[in-house]
Each structure stands twice: as C-alpha cells, then as structure tokens.
Structure 1
Amino acid sequence: MSDKPFAERTVVVTGGGTGIGRASALAFAALGASAVIVTGRRKERLAEVAELHPAIVPVTADVTTETGADAVAEAVEGHGGTLDVLVHNAGVFRFTPLTGLDPATAREVLETNVLGPVLLTRRLLPLLRSPGGTLVLVSSRGGHNPGPESSLYSASKAAVHSFTRSWAAELAPRGIRVNAVAPGFVRTEAYAANGLSEEQVEGLFAGVAHSVPLGRVALPEEIATWITRLAEPASALVTGQILTVDGGMDVAGK
C-alpha cells in the first residue's frame, strides 16, 4: 500500500478550521493530497490551518447557502476541476430542551447539519470523480442513540445516517462511494461554543470517561484517521457504512 494514497487528488473538507475538520485536512495533506480545500465561516481559523501545510487551500464560505456552495465549486475548478473526496464535517451542536426550544436555534442546527450537506453535494456532484469519487459524512452516535435535551441535534444526525445509506445506493452505479463516521465524545470546541467554561468542559469529559469502556474521550486526530481510511482507495468495496467510534459505549449499552 502507498504511504501517499491521495497523491494527485483533490479533497474538500467542510468545517475545516477547527476540531475534526482541521485534523482531517492535515491528515489528507500528509497523505499526499495535492489540494485540500477547507471551508468554514471563520476566515482567520481557516488561515491558521492553511499555514500548517502548503496543500491546504482556505475558502471562507457558508455552505448552507447556494452562494457558499458555488464558492467551493469554484475552488475545485481552480485546482484541476475534478473532486476526489468530499468530507461533510461542518456541523453544530446545541442543547435543545423541548421546554425551552428556540426556533432560531432549531433552524441553525437543521440548516447546518442537514441542508448544508444536501446543497453542497448537489453542487459538487458534477465535479466528483466518477468512478472513484468518495463522500465521507461526519455524523454522531447521537444519530442512532439520542439523549435528552439534544433531540434536534440527534435528529439531524439521524438524517446524516439516512443520507449515507440512500446516497450510497444512488451513487454506486456511478462508482462513487458514501460512508460516515459516527463519533462519540470528542475533545473539540463544540462544548465551549455552547457556553460551557473550561472547568465545566473538563468536568464533563471526566464524568463521561467513566461511561466509556475504553476509559476516555476521543481526540480529533483519532476520528480523522477513520475518515481518511474510508476515503482511501484501499476501501474501494466499502460503501453505505456508518462506523461508530465511541470507545465502546454502544456495545456497553451506554
């Protein structure tokens, strides 16, 4: 097997400025991708990632809009015009207790986690290598094991699971594969973005660790490893799969 499986290939990673998206972009670049186009709404965070590897191309875009999807497509066209890998990582988590549900928050979650992947996939599909292209969606174990006060987030990730299986069947005749990674708890900025202090985040992770059979939460780089593995040519017969990476919480019934 080549140590550069993505040589001469173009990759798009949404939500590429932080967390799993950042780790994935760096992983694809290290594995030989000629261009890794990272998108997001925060220009400064994308620029920070781009400084870490010459193959990373920052594109500030809101992919929940057609204008944002067009900007990503233009970047692909400017780097050869053919897309090999599309990673749908952009997403938001918000606490959504039913008794205090805010309609604006509901729209934010559904537009980012559901509408965004649909619009961007539709726009980039004509550019996706066929046969040989691949999509990897970043979901969550919440998509199949929802918890209290996160019903909208869990519903949005259940939709991602549905996209994975439906698109895999729809695109298989074109030689395009579609898979997803469903992480459990991961050390990202998502918790701070929901208003938790650093102490509260660390307390949450410490408590969660007791529920994880393997004893800890994941790092973004560990999730990125499986994203790249699902995308690489060695996984050519893998499609329609949702890989849960949660330290054994599912099998323990947590």
Structure 2
Amino acid sequence: MSQPSFQKSFTSTYRSGTYASISPTRPEVSAKSRTIVITAGHTGIGFAIACSFAAAGASNIIIVGRRETVLRAAVQKLSVKHPGTNLHYFAVSITAEDQVEQMFASIRRNMAEPDILITSAAYFASGATGAASVASTPLKEMTASFETNVVGNLSIVQAFLGRATQDHIEKTIIDVSTCTVHLYLPQAAGAYSASKLAFTKLLMVLHDEARTAGQKLRVHSFHPGAVFTEAVADAGHRADVFPFDDIELPGHFAVWLASPEAEFLAGRFVWANWDIGELIERKEDILRQNLLRLGLVGKAEWDTKLFV
C-alpha cells in the first residue's frame, strides 16, 4: 500500500478518542507488578500515559522531568486517583548522563528493576525558531534537537536496559514518536522531525539486534495523534484551528502497545489513531509483508542476494 497519512489511514477506522478495546482497565492489558519509567511524564501526553498505566494497575510509576514543582504536583494528582500505585519522580535532565545513571541506580536499589520505559521527552523549539525552515534554522537549535531527541533519549534507553540484554530480562520500550518521521508537514520543523526519525531508527536497530541475539526486548514506536498540549501551544498553535484528538487516546494506546496483544507490532511504527481490532485482523499480512517498518518506498524488481 501507499504511505499512510491523514488522508490514507492504515485502518479503515480512524480513531480520535479512546474506545473500549484499548481501555487500560481490561484484564488483558493489566500492568500489575510492572515498574514503569516515563520521561516527561509530568505534562501533556506523558502525563496521560502515566494516568493510563496507573489505571492499568502498575505497581510503580516513575516520572522524569526537569521541573521539580511540576513533577511534585503531577505525582500528588496521580496519587489521589490511584492510591494503589507507588508513585515517584526524579528531577533529571535526560541530557545529563551522570544524572540518568544515578537515577536508574536508585530505582533498582530502592524500588524494582524497571520493566517498561516510555520515551516521551522531546525538544521542540518554540516561537519563530520552531517554525523555521531547514535553511534558516539556527545550528544551535539543530544541535539542541539532536542532543535531546537522540542522544538524551539514547542515554535513558541504555541506562534502562542495564544488564538486561546479557541477563535475558524481559523489557519493553514505548517510543512516543511523531508522524513527521515519515510525512512532510509544512508546519513541522525539520530539526524536530529529523531528530525524532533518527531516534526511532536507532530503536528499530536496537530491536533487530536484540531479536538476532535472542534477547527479550520489545520496542514500539508510535505517533500519538494530533493532541493539543502545552508544548503545542508553546509552538504557536491554537486549539481552535484543528480538530485535535483526545489526550486519552495516546495514553490508553500506550498501555495496549505494552500488552501481549501488541507483541506482533514489536519493531514497527504505528499510529494511535489506527483501530487495534483491524490491526489484529491484519496481523498475518503485517508480518508476512513486513509492513509498518521505516524504510524506502518502492517495489523491488530484482531478486539479488547482497549478503550470503
């Protein structure tokens, strides 16, 4: 098929809000006994994901961000609604490798071995700089985008894995990506989309490496939908110019992605807007044709062995 877009969805049903099949209270997607680490889990989509995993019964949820007052308020809000989940926060910059390593050492020492990592933190330049073309983007903004969206996120991933790959501990990484890694949108900054694409590609390589080595690692990347968040407002957009999606959609979808039902989508890129019933129905086609992988669009005409 042609590349999925806003006009050509991969599923015939295009979701803008949550629905019963991805409810985090379904027993089939339970996060009981799981320890979840969520970067940027104190605001926006990250916070919606934290709420969803708490609703799914997660034992421990650790949210990570730079603003301690906002982190504290988020944990307090979550704890009132979900008293059965142990909630923690760390005021850490993901670009500070020593802080990241110390955080995971503390999690392992005082809580548990983390099972699921949600990479939700991202850098997006605001104002005029955020809307700049590639030709006019200041190089310092380009550098900042890659430092956070690639290097910082990779630092989190490596610390999260620890010795898991050697010790064959089961781990899951859910990457909150963006449709702009495979679509051109004039209003999307090139620095943002290119850096997000780079990290998503790294995760897909990580997934393939783990599978080749027989390691128990699942990696999922997904477009969370078009959700109006604080970051979207800071980028200069208004809530009344677009039919934005409900923020519960990516929150609930992330819980479903981490469940056994979505295992067949490991190493692939999906949209939260796509109906999971149809995705499951197309499981055999997705696996047989190796669909939903980032790569080159085109039909192969020759059967040539490049590697023996």
Alignment TM class, shorter chain as reference: 0.7 to 0.9
TM-score, scaled relative to structure 1: 0.83
- Tell me the amino acid that sits aligned with residue 228 of structure 2: R
Q: The residue matched to 2:37 in structure 1 has which SS?
A: strand
1:64 aligns with 2:81: no
Is residue 2:140 matched to residue 1:132?
Answer: no
- Residue aligning to 1:202: 239
Report 1:18-167 matches (<5 A). 18-51=43-76, 52-53=78-79, 54=83, 55-94=86-125, 95=130, 96-126=132-162, 128=164, 130-148=168-186, 150-167=189-206
- Give CA deviations for 1:116-147 in whole Å, capped at 9, x if unaligned: 12111111212658443100001000111133
Q: Does residue 231 of structure 1 match 2:258?
A: yes
Which residue of 2 is the match for residue 185 of structure 1?
226
Identity %: 26
**What is the Cα deviation at residue 225 of structure 1?**
1.2
Q: Distance in 2 between matches of 1:15 and 1:109?
A: 16
Q: Can you list the C-alpha shifts for 1:43-79, whole angstroms capped at 9, x where unaligned?
A: 1111111112252211110011212312330342134
CA-to-aligned-CA distance 1:172-227 (integer Å, 9 cap, x gap): 22111001111342111112323x3xxx5124xx2x3xxxxxxx221222111111
Q: Judge which range, 115-124 or 91-100, deviates more.
A: 91-100
Instruction: Quote the Cα distance in structure 2 between the aligned partners of 1:247 and 1:7.
Output: 26
Runs (5+) with no aligned partner, structure 1: 209-215, 249-254
Higher RCO (CA 8 Å, separation ≥ 6 residues): 2
Instruction: State the aligned residue count.
Output: 234
Taking the aligned partners of 2:106 and 2:47, their CA distance within structure 1 comes to 18
- In structure 2, which of residues 257, 268, 272 is the aligned counterpart of residue 241 of structure 1? 268
When the two structures are superposed, what TM-score results if normalisation uses the length of structure 2? Answer: 0.70
- Aligned-residue CA RMSD in angstroms? 2.3
Write the deviation string for residues 63-108 of structure 1: whole angstroms up to 9, x where unpaired: 1121231233034213444111001010122323234322222222
Structure ID, larger Rg? 2
Q: Distance in 2 between matches of 1:34 and 1:17?
A: 18
Q: Point out 4+ residue stretches in structure 1 off by more than 3 angstroms.
A: 78-81, 127-131, 245-248
